[in-house]
Structure 1
Amino acid sequence: MAEPAPATENNEGRRIQMLRAAAELICERGFSETRIADVAKRAGVSSALVIYYFGTRDRLLVDALRYSEESFYEAGEKMLAEVPSLRERLSLLIRWTCVPEGQGADEIPGAWGLWFDLWAQAFRHDEVRAGRIELDARWRRMIIDALRVADSAELGSGIDAKMFALEFAALLDGLSIQVALEDPEVDSEVAYQIAMRFAERELDLAPAEKPARKSAKKAGTSKSDKVLARGRR
């Protein structure tokens, strides 16, 4: 099978149109029930054009998830760089993953479903497996970066940032699945508490300060936070 057409400035708008259509349909129906013809119809193009740009359904799934994640990473990396406290950065990472926010106008409803289908397909298909590795590696790098910019007073020198990122990302994945599936014992607040307690133990963080000034910014209330309303997971 021929390689899909490379992304260029000239075709970027059309590619995004098809990627959004694919992401919406996969969230609505599941990957197994989404055909190339369905994506083409939703995007208002021909099936041949979808195949020309993406080659296979597997590639379309990975690229649709990559597209849905891109705004999350861009906004998330910028926000984390502006937050001075390690505890606040960890809090943001947890909330972005485990605490549902209001649906923004540009967000894809049910975007979590893309990850469910990606994991299922990655178990059997090499192309999807490679995409899963790439996307999760970026998520772990974000966690590592949140630690590396921490003040020495907050984080000791003996912390293995890579190992913490592996453990923390795996924990957040598991918790966010429970939240997404509406487990009666693991709602978003319980998930947040579990993840934060883990981070406190592993990083030996000082006890949280009591909420103080009314002017203090709260996580999850800014315009940028709405862009990140999962977003990742």
Structure 2
Amino acid sequence: MADPAPATENNEARRTQMLRAAAELICERGFSETRISDVAKRAGVSSAVVICYFGARDRLLVDALRYAEDSFYEAAERMLSEVPSVRDRLSLLIRWTCVAEAEDEIPGYWGLWFDLWAQAFRHDDVKVGRAQLDARWRRMIVEAVQSDELGADDAKMFALEFSALLDGLSIQVALEDPEVDSEVAYEIAMRFAERNLNLSDGLTAEVTVPR
């Protein structure tokens, strides 16, 4: 990949504009049908400007997903810090991942991840970006469950298992599997967490998905 232009205070607004356009288009059309010229047109810039900022189309995919994730993590970290119960924090994580508030919410968001996984399978640079994004998600799970009773190593292993389970469930929900809708996915993930962390039954918080 060509080296992109470094991010600075002077170019951040324009960079964000292009990332928003790329995220919208990839969700709408898929990565294979999204061209640099399409992103440029929606962002109101030239194709040369998009290439200057991102270097290549594959990098634009990774950065568009990272841009979409940033807004999620900003809201999620704030909300989790206000929830004292491990069980309720995990309930939030499951709902954010597997339960859509609107009909098209999960398919649109997960479309970015589907395309990223497909490109990461064949392109090393995209693979690195994928690993970084997944590591950030696992760190959030670790922070949600780590306590005096659950040490760092156990929390890390739980995060690996739990994130893999949520990925699989979310794919089924996004693809509208007739046997795995949002509520079934939530119940499966919650039971896994309860068994592995010995969580007691109790009311879980009604939440708003911050995506």
**Where on the TM-score scale, by shorter chain, does this alignment land: which range?**
over 0.9
Instruction: Pick from 195, 202, 209 the counterpart of residue 201 of structure 1.
Output: 195
- What are the ranges of 5 or more consecutive residues in structure 1 without an aligned counterpart? 212-216
Shift in Å, 1:111 = 2.0
Amino-acid identity (%): 76
Write the distance in 2 (CA, Å) between the matches of 1:169 and 1:194.
13
Instruction: Pick from 137, 142, 145 the counterpart of residue 144 of structure 1.
Output: 142
SS of the residue 1:111 aligns to: helix
- Match status 1:218 vs 2:172: no
Q: Tell me what 1:29 maps to.
A: 29
* Cα RMSD after superposing both structures: 2.0
Residues 24 and 109, structure 1, Cα contact 8 Å, conserved in 2: no
Shift in Å, 1:102 = 3.7
Classify 1:127/1:88 alpha carbon distance in 2 versus 1 (closer, same or farther; 3 Å): same
| TM-score of the two chains, using structure 2 as the length reference | 0.93
- Match status 1:51 vs 2:51: yes
| TM-score of the two chains, using structure 1 as the length reference | 0.85
How many residue pairs align between the two structures?
A: 210
Write the distance in 2 (CA, Å) between the matches of 1:163 and 1:32.
35
Query: C-alpha offsets along residues 131-153 of structure 1, whole Å, 9 cap, x if unaligned?
Result: 100000000000000112x4x5x
Any runs of at least 4 consecutive aligned residues in structure 1 with deviations exceeding 6 A, and if so which?
A: none
Classify 1:162/1:109 alpha carbon distance in 2 versus 1 (closer, same or farther; 3 Å): closer
Shift in Å, 1:219 = 2.4
Structure with more helix by fraction: 2
Instruction: Pick from 162, 175, 178 the counterpart of residue 181 of structure 1.
Output: 175
Instruction: Pick from 178, 185, 188 the counterpart of residue 191 of structure 1.
Output: 185
The one-letter code matched in structure 1 to 2:177 is D
